[in-house]
Amino acid sequence: MSIEYTYTIVSVDATAKCMEVSYSSTGRETQLVGVRLPLVGESLEAVIDSFSPVQYWLDLEAERDVPEVGTTGVIAPVEEVVAAPVLEEHVFPVDPM
């Protein structure tokens, strides 16, 4: 799902190479986000979009699965298993002429 939004650059700090951008979308709370300045040749809108709070807004609107109080569990680290390399024999049929 995509959300249409508008942005306004509120301030720019060339020394710190960053800017503050205000993002807003109808029916959602406006967000003020620190964004890096674009590199020379880089699209301003691409940088603005890469820092947009769209996923945050979607997360706020997502349905939640509420656990019961007292639920317990164990989370154990998963050991990384590295398999030994398998040597395969390649047999190619020969066409008798």
Residue 89 located in a structural domain: no
Percent of the chain with pLDDT over 70: 87
Residue 44 located in a structural domain: yes
Domain region containing 10: 6-61
C-alpha separations of 61 from 33, 48, 55 in Å: 20, 22, 10
Residue 75 located in a structural domain: no
pLDDT tens digits along 36-83: 999 999 999 999 999 999 999 999 999 999 999 999 999 999 888 777
Give the max Cα distance, the chain.
79
Question: The pTM is what?
Answer: 0.68
Residue 70 located in a structural domain: no
Pair 59, 48: CB distance under 8 Å: no
Using alpha carbons only, how large is the chain's radius of gyration in Å?
Answer: 26
